Amino acid sequence: MEKIESLSKRRGFIFQSSEIYGGFGSSYDYGPLGVELANNVKRQWWRSMVQMRLDIFGLDAAIIMHPKVWEASGHVESFSDPLVDCKQCKRRFRADHLLEASSAKPDLDGQREPPKNIADIVCPECGGELTEPRNFNLLMKTFVGAVEDETSTSYLRGETCQGIYVNYKNIIDSSRAKIPFGIAQIGKAFRNEITPGNFIFRTREFEQMEMQYFIHPREAEKWLKYWKEEREKWYKGLGLKDNFLRWREHGEQERAHYARAAWDIEFDSPFGGWKELSGVHDRGHWDLSRHEKFSGVDLKYLDPETKEKYTPQIIETSDGVGRAMLAFLINAYEEVAARSGDDHAKHEKEVVLRLDKRLAPIKVAILPLSKKTDLEAMARDIQKALAPDYMTQYDATASIGKRYRRQDEIGTPYCITVDFDSLVDKQVTVRDRDTMKQNRIAIGDIKAYLAEQYSNV
């Protein structure tokens, strides 16, 4: 994991937030390459969920909503985790995480009450005695308006899906949606986590990619199976290896209070084994029923053909942008024997980030062999011609072998080298990151060549 964090900072993927002030716990900033990777992850998710389908509609709901939304959803009352403190070193921990680390099953009921056998566990940091568990609400409170009192209390959303539920009726009325249909959203959510950590795996501010699929209650099992298959297919289609992923079903005592069934895709992490990457849940009709009760608005669905009226059941798919990025980075990271540059310039090992071409932050790098004016002019003309269609990077510093290595470790699929022969034959060398194959291509054919390479994914 240290290698991933080091690469992320050194090459501009991810920085510690507010670093010049000593950093701010569990907050991270995405650098030039990180923001491109994040955007590519979101773009691929949106393409598969919305662009390529006729039954799913996009939404971008407000981060701060009416506080009644969070009362109806149960977050104000029960969106909490069991917290324990070490009496000696004063560190704080989630009780259920300590139990899981001790190979014990969390003894949690449907309202996520504190575990009842935490007394058998000591502080993992100093061995000190732990306090009795107490519930800690994860909602981040804020105030709206000029006066800070109970009447102005609101919350930063703890999950994006509630914005979907309160807009469910609007989508039906404006888009003529018929069940089964879905609503998809990408957006920030906030949770006052007790123990954030493991780099960008668990943070207090994070970005979710969620889709809520509204169905007839009789078809819940069918659609749960369907969306499990679709989510696994999406991750594997973007390069995650079979042995890097697995499914895990939530036990009855582990499921959230609203869930009738819950499954996680887990990935093989370097910081504690299998960790949650993505979730597929049968939420029943809890959410719509609660919002109907608290708002007084009828949220039942009237089938236009059968005239049956019912409260739809919901199958949820939930993914995190940061977790997906982390999984893709870990899966793609590979150390290989030296392969670039002259013998005297080679390193014992080189890093290759074998990201799927669609996720790679930089699609093509342009490398003039030297800084001579005529070579740089030709190289910059090529970069300008490609920039409208591809995210490019121009690099004219250091040996060509070192520049290849720099592009390999950020996952750039193709490098275009402009050499002295290019001035005569108007051709360039295109190098493939994975195969190391080099093709001599006419400058006028570069666009067609790249279009063909990227059409295969």
CATH number of the domain encompassing residue 208: 3.30.930.10
Pick from 284, 289, 301: which is nearest to 72 by CA?
A: 289
Instruction: Please provide residue 92's backbone torsions phi and psi, each rounded to the nearest 5 degrees.
Output: -115, 145
Q: Is residue 106 predicted with pLDDT exceeding 90? A: no
357 falls within a domain: no
Which two tokens mark 226?
């369907």
Using the 3D structure, point to which of 307, 329, 351 is the last residue of a domain.
Answer: 329
72 falls within a domain: no
Residues 261 and 375 in one domain: no
Angle formed at CA 68 by CA 175 and CA 46, multiple of 5 degrees: 40
pLDDT mean over 163-168: 98
Q: What pLDDT does residue 109 have? A: 44
Which two tokens mark 271?
């910081």
Asked if 286 contacts 141 with a C-beta cutoff of 8 angstroms, the reply is no
Give me the CATH number covering residue 371.
Answer: 3.40.50.800
Q: What pLDDT does residue 76 have? A: 86
Which two tokens mark 139?
């909602």
Beta carbons within 8 Å of 314's beta carbon, 6+ residues apart: 212, 213, 214, 215, 282, 283, 284, 285, 287, 288
pLDDT, tens digit, for every residue of 145-154?
988 888 899 9
What is each CA distance from 308 to 34, 144, 215, 305, in whole angstroms? 49, 41, 13, 8
Residues 38 and 177 in one domain: yes
pLDDT mean over 348-368: 96
202 falls within a domain: yes
Q: What pLDDT does residue 347 have? A: 62
The DSSP code sequence of 419-449 is -TTHHHH-EEEEEETTT--EEEEEGGGHHHH
Higher pLDDT, 133 or 223: 223
- Residue 271: give the domain boundaries: 2-60+157-329
Q: Is residue 105 predicted with pLDDT exceeding 60? A: no
Burial of 434 (0-12, 13-18, 19+ CB in 10 A): exposed
Q: What pLDDT does residue 346 have? A: 55
Give the torsion through C-alpha atoms of 236, 222, 292, 170, to 10 deg: 60
79 falls within a domain: no
Give the torsion through C-alpha atoms of 122, 128, 133, 136, to 10 deg: -120
Using the 3D structure, point to which of 279, 306, 329 is the last residue of a domain.
Answer: 329
Residues 184 and 236 in one domain: yes
Residues 232 and 318 in one domain: yes
41 falls within a domain: yes
354 falls within a domain: no
323 falls within a domain: yes
Neighbours of 257 (CB within 10 A): 13
Using the 3D structure, point to which of 271, 306, 329 is the last residue of a domain.
Answer: 329
Burial of 324 (0-12, 13-18, 19+ CB in 10 A): buried
145 falls within a domain: no
Residues 237 and 367 in one domain: no
Residues 217 and 366 in one domain: no
Distance (Å, rounded) from C-alpha 448 to C-alpha 371? 27
Q: What pLDDT does residue 80 have? A: 66
Alpha helices in 286-396 (DSSP H): 286-295, 321-332, 373-386
Give the torsion through C-alpha atoms of 368, 371, 377, 382, to 10 deg: 20
Q: Is residue 110 predicted with pLDDT exceeding 70? A: no
Residues 313 and 444 in one domain: no
Residues 201 and 309 in one domain: yes
Residues 307 and 417 in one domain: no
Interaxial angle between packed helices 321-332 and 32-46, expressed in degrees from 0 to 180 and rounded to the nearest 10: 110
Residues 323 and 374 in one domain: no
Q: Is residue 108 predicted with pLDDT exceeding 70? A: no
Residues 171 and 212 in one domain: yes
Residues 168 and 219 in one domain: yes
pLDDT, tens digit, for every residue of 37-92?
999 999 999 999 999 999 999 999 999 999 999 999 988 887 667 778 898 998 88
Query: What total number of domains does the chain contain?
Result: 2
